[in-house]
Amino acid sequence: MDTGTHIVMGFALGGLATLDPAVAQDAVHFHSVLIATVLGSQAPDIDTVLKFKNNAVYIRNHRGITHSVPAVLLWPLAITAVLGIFFPGTDMLHLWLWASLAVFLHVFVDIFNAYGTQALRPFSYKWVALGVINTFDPIIFSIHIFGLLAWALGAQPGITFTLMYFIVFLYYIARFTARHDVKKAVLAAIPDVEKVIISPTIHFHQWKIAVKTKDHYYVAKAYKSYITILDKFKRLPVPDNEILQAAKQDKNLSAFLSFSPVYRWQVVEKENGYQIRFTDLRYRSHGHYPFVAVVKLNRDLEIIGSYTGWIFNKEKLKKKLDVVPR
């Protein structure tokens, strides 16, 4: 989920914690737990700072180790240890329990996005992405805002947020049902499907779809269960030749391939070498595909430039491809 949603979730969990007698009976306990739930709801996303280094490092590591099984166990311990210094006398066990719930819920809700997490590390490095909830879901965010406003206006927080999370639970069921209907429609519309990748959007009834068949890639969109095919590409295996082998040594392309499950590739011969472009098919936006990896090689197959990342403007994309930073 986005940072804003994780923040309001942290405050909502702090309100829910008032159901715990150890928290409700003392202001120090309550404030320490409220801070713990807010921090716990943010802690796994500390890897966002990697974006300041470069896109390759960010793509490889975001929602990776910081969302792993060891991290889910270690974040609450760190939060509890730090807050124990600032709130002497607080109930450390209950502080740890609520911090643990906040961290767990952060990782858990991220699994439902199309981006996903490596939540099973170190047991599996597979990306777990259910593709049910958009990274920012206005309905989930609004439900939390209404709950927090009710609390601010005097509503009993424990009851308020229990009801709120029950409504969120029902909303998740509705999203799973809608996604199931979309997948069923895709299988009926496209023959010989090997893999379907369905990505939610900010709109409840609209979905982005990428499909693998034996011979083709399909890019489509859905409104409710009505499927519109937008693009169809011949599925060509990536050749094991010297040009592609040289390009795959690049850190940007390597990061792209570690993350993208469905993509097109192109090799364009230039006067001074080659341009290798990989395009992720999951993120079609306004007629083009913004998530790309590009590698430039000279005639000796040496890497002279590369780039990977999201570019949502065709003109900027062309500029990046003309002057590819490494």
CA 186 to each of CA 6, 112, 137, 214: distance values in angstroms, whole numbers, following the listed order: 32, 20, 23, 15
Which residue(s) pair with 206 in the sheet? 223
What pLDDT digit, counting tens, does each position of 96-154 carry?
999 999 999 999 999 999 888 999 999 998 889 999 999 999 999 999 999 999 999 99
Contact 277, 266 (CB under 8 A): yes
Domain range list for the chain: 3-136, 242-322
Low-confidence stretches of the chain (pLDDT < 50) are 324-326
Angle of CA points 152, 102, 164, to nearest 5°: 45
Structure confidence at residue 326 (pLDDT): 45
Among 289, 271, 288, residue whose Cα is nearest residue 280: 289
Contact 277, 294 (CB under 8 A): yes
Containing 187, the helix (H) or strand (E) segment is helix 157-189
What pLDDT digit, counting tens, does each position of 212-243 carry?
999 999 999 999 999 999 999 999 999 989 99
* Buried-state track 182-206, b at ≥16 Cβ within 10 A, e below 16: bbebbeebbeebeebbbbbeeebee
Q: How far apart are CA 324 and CA 307, in angstroms?
A: 6
* Buried-state track 234-256, b at ≥16 Cβ within 10 A, e below 16: eeeeeeeeebbebbeebbbbbbb
Structure confidence at residue 322 (pLDDT): 61
Q: How far apart are CA 200 and CA 179, in angstroms?
A: 8
Structure confidence at residue 321 (pLDDT): 56
Angle of CA points 134, 165, 167, to nearest 5°: 75
Structure confidence at residue 225 (pLDDT): 92
